Amino acid sequence: MTKAIYPGSFDPVTKGHLDIIIRTSKIMSHLTVAVMENPRKVATYNIEKRVEMLKLVTEPYPNVDVDYYKGLLIDYAQQRETDIIVKGLRAISDFEFEFQMALVNQKLNPAIETLFMMTNSKYSYLSSSIVKEIAALGGDVSSLVPHEVHSMIVDKFK
Ligand code: ADP
């Protein structure tokens, strides 16, 4: 059984995240999407809302579940008895940070492997912060976020 964790802020979930979720769920027997607190970022949506949005968009995928964790990713992986962490890579700019995180996590627990999924070229420019910037200025984000959560995202900026 190949179980993996896909961690992130998901503040909010975008079509780029969903693409990684769908593609990874086809490779792994089980995938947990884990909403994590990021001390480097001030969140727009609280954890409950981010989990609710992720649950809505992942409903069609029976081997995907959604959870949250306030602590170290490596501790969470151990708790869930999962030894694969999946990260998405959009650009070289993602690589440097993710490379450092993967090596630190490897140092903390060598049994846990980080696997990188390359972005779908359709979504390589897409991030949660871009979605929020456009929504805050009244722009149309319907092509950037899953339709199930579109109104929840727009409502936040009304
Ligand atoms: P961000 O706030 O930068 O969008 P998150 O912490 O929510 O990032 O992202 C969680 C994971 O999803 C990270 O591994 C990130 O690199 C990846 N990711 C985010 N957006 C995309 C995308 N458009 N394509 C591929 N991977 C992505």
Residue 47: the pLDDT is 95
Q: Which atom from ligand 1 is nearest to the alpha carbon of 13?
A: 7
Residue 51: the pLDDT is 98
**Strands, E assignment, the chain:** 3-8, 30-36, 64-69, 84-89, 113-118
- Check which CATH number belongs to the domain holding 80 and give it: 3.40.50.620
Residue 1: the pLDDT is 76
Tally of domains within the chain: 1
Encode the chain (158 residues) as per-residue pLDDT tens digits.
799 999 999 999 999 999 999 999 999 999 999 999 888 889 999 999 999 999 999 999 999 999 999 999 999 999 999 999 999 999 877 888 999 999 999 999 999 999 999 999 999 999 999 999 999 999 999 999 999 999 999 998 87
Pick the residue whose CA is nearest to atom 27 on ligand 1.
Answer: 88
C-alpha 83/C-alpha 114 separation (Å) is: 8
Q: Domain of 135?
A: 3-156
Question: 0.75 exceeded by the pTM?
Answer: yes
Residue 40: the pLDDT is 82
Choose which residue among 9, 10, 13, 20 to substitute to test ligand 1 binding: the one with the highest number of ligand atoms within 8 A of its C-beta. Answer: 20
Catalytic-residue membership of 41: yes
Q: Which residues contact 47 (CB under 8 A, 6 or more apart)?
A: 35, 37, 68, 70
Report CA(124)–ligand 1 centroid distance (Å): 10
- Whether residue 62 contacts residue 26, with contact meaning beta carbons closer than 8 Å, is answered with no
Catalytic-residue membership of 90: yes
Residue type, 152: M
